[in-house]
Amino acid sequence: SRNIRLAVIPGDGIGTEVVAEGLKVLEAVGTKIEPTHYDLGAARYHRTGETLPDAVLDELRGYDAILLGAIGDPSVPPGILERDLLLRLRFEFDHYVNLRPVKLFPGVETPLADTPNENIDMIVVREGTEGLYAGTGGVMRRGTPHEIATQESLNTAHGVERVVRYAFEKAKTRPRKKLTLVHKTNVLTYAGDLWQRTVNRVAEEYPEVTTDYSHIDAASMFFVSQPERFDVVVTDNLFGDIITDLGAAIAGGIGLAASGNINPERTTPSMFEPVHGSAPDIAGQGKADPTATILSVAMLLDHLGLRTEAAKVEQAVADDIVERLTGWASRTTHEIGDDITARVSG
């Protein structure tokens, strides 16, 4: 079979460091993957003014998948790299499912007192292409006492239904078969009504799935006080952004949180990235934990149908994590990558 073509975008800050370890694991697990690097990010922006040239976007379209490190640097005004590079990739490739598992691996210390690890095991299905991320809005009389700045949340039947369907399909495959819509229907009445009606309608096709609803404020509370309430969570782009960072916090920290920006129809390459950002404060020091990237690599393998390899990587991470507990000295980015690599090769 032909080699799998992988586009690699290390990006900014610790992105380069963690992606290197992800690739090492990918090679060690014995896949026929052919990586090509793209130097998108702050450095290129400063050098050429480009964020994501159209020609590069077109080229990326031809890959089987994308592995991304992290995007964002304090030297670039907020929003430029995020909107014109990261979000543009998600939008142009119609990554309408942003899949983020929130699972506390056995042996990881939870920051929540009195919460057994197995109580934290959910999957957040975050919508990835609309809502407040659409970027519509504007400003009038900027810099004056009469300035008005607006942001618009755009929600379509098309966009909501497809991600809700995906979430029900996911819920069907899980032991607890429970789906919770997280929104703020009592304040965002137009969008909330669309989301709630869509969930209600699709639910009729999934009688085996229990559906539930939680306002985003209450859900944030429950993530801390009763995480066992959640199995599959479906939510909009912004609420999903917030709740998955919170999810990372309760599931062992941002160093372990993986994600996939998925186009389920596979008409475009899906993109896998750690949930964490570029962390410029620790960049280049070998301090970043590459585990989130390595787990994102496992999601990538799974998406490409390489389930044995995906399971091997996940198991290697799980084993590595158990060892961490037994008083392992703190390791560098490379060392963690090497240790997990050794496990998948062995």
Ligand X SMILES: CC(C)[C@H](C(=O)O)[C@@H](O)C(=O)O
Q: How far is the CB of 118 from its own copies (least distance, A)?
A: 17
Is 245 in the active site? yes
Of 1, 144, 173, 186, the one binding ligand X by CB under 6 A = 186
- Looking at residue 223, its amino acid is F
Q: How far is the CB of 98 from ligand X (least distance, A)?
A: 8
Site membership for its own copies, residue 246 (CB under 8 A): yes
Select from ligand X, its own copies, none the partner in contact with residue 173, using the beta carbon and a kind-dependent cut-off of 5 to 8 Å.
none
What residue has token string 């006080």? 225
Q: Which stretch binds ligand X (CB under 6 A): 82-90, 112-120, 191-199, 318-326?
A: 82-90
Is 133 in the active site? yes
Site string for ligand X, 204-223 (x = CB under 6 A): -------------x------
Site string for its own copies, 263-282 (x = CB under 8 A): --------------x-----
Q: Is 137 exposed, middle or buried (0-12, 13-18, 19+ CB in 10 A)?
A: exposed
Among 45, 41, 46, 49, which Cα is nearest to 19's? 41
Pairing between β-strand 33-37 and β-strand 4-11 as defined by DSSP bridges: parallel
Of 75, 189, 200, 285, the one binding its own copies by CB under 8 A = 189
Cβ neighbours of residue 178 closer than 8 Å, sequence gap 6 or more: 171, 209, 210, 211, 212, 230, 231, 232
Select from its own copies, ligand X, none the partner in contact with residue 149, using the beta carbon and a kind-dependent cut-off of 5 to 8 Å.
its own copies
Site string for ligand X, 263-282 (x = CB under 6 A): ------------x-x-----
Select from ligand X, its own copies, none the partner in contact with residue 137, using the beta carbon and a kind-dependent cut-off of 5 to 8 Å.
its own copies
Catalytic residue among 63, 184, 236, 289: 184
Is 184 in the active site? yes
Q: Which stretch binds ligand X (CB under 6 A): 51-59, 81-89, 145-153, 337-345?
A: 81-89
Distance CA 138, CA 259 (A): 30
Among 247, 248, 245, 254, which Cα is nearest to 230's? 247
Distance CA 253, CA 108 (A): 10
Report CA 42 to chain centroid distance, whole Å.
21
CB 225 within 8 A of CB 78: no
Of 38, 93, 105, 133, the one binding its own copies by CB under 8 A = 133
Count of residues near its own copies by CB under 8 A: 72
Both tokens assigned to 181: 């819509």
Distance CA 272, CA 8 (A): 10
Is 339 in the active site? no
Both tokens assigned to 134: 């659409």
- Looking at residue 14, its amino acid is I
Select from ligand X, its own copies, none the partner in contact with residue 11, using the beta carbon and a kind-dependent cut-off of 5 to 8 Å.
none
Is 38 in the active site? no
Among 265, 89, 203, which Cα is nearest to 195's? 203
Of 1, 48, 144, 267, the one binding its own copies by CB under 8 A = 144
CB 29 within 8 A of CB 308: no
CB 249 within 8 A of CB 111: yes
Q: Which stretch binds ligand X (CB under 6 A): 17-25, 80-88, 165-173, 292-300?
A: 80-88
Q: Is 307 exposed, middle or buried (0-12, 13-18, 19+ CB in 10 A)?
A: exposed
Catalytic residue among 45, 63, 96, 133: 133
Q: Which stretch binds its own copies (CB under 8 A): 58-66, 145-153, 282-290, 322-330?
A: 145-153
Q: How far is the CB of 258 from its own copies (least distance, A)?
A: 15
Give residues in contact with ligand X (CB under 6 A): 72, 82, 86-87, 186-187, 217, 241, 275, 277
> So which residues are the catalytic ones?
133, 184, 217, 241, 245
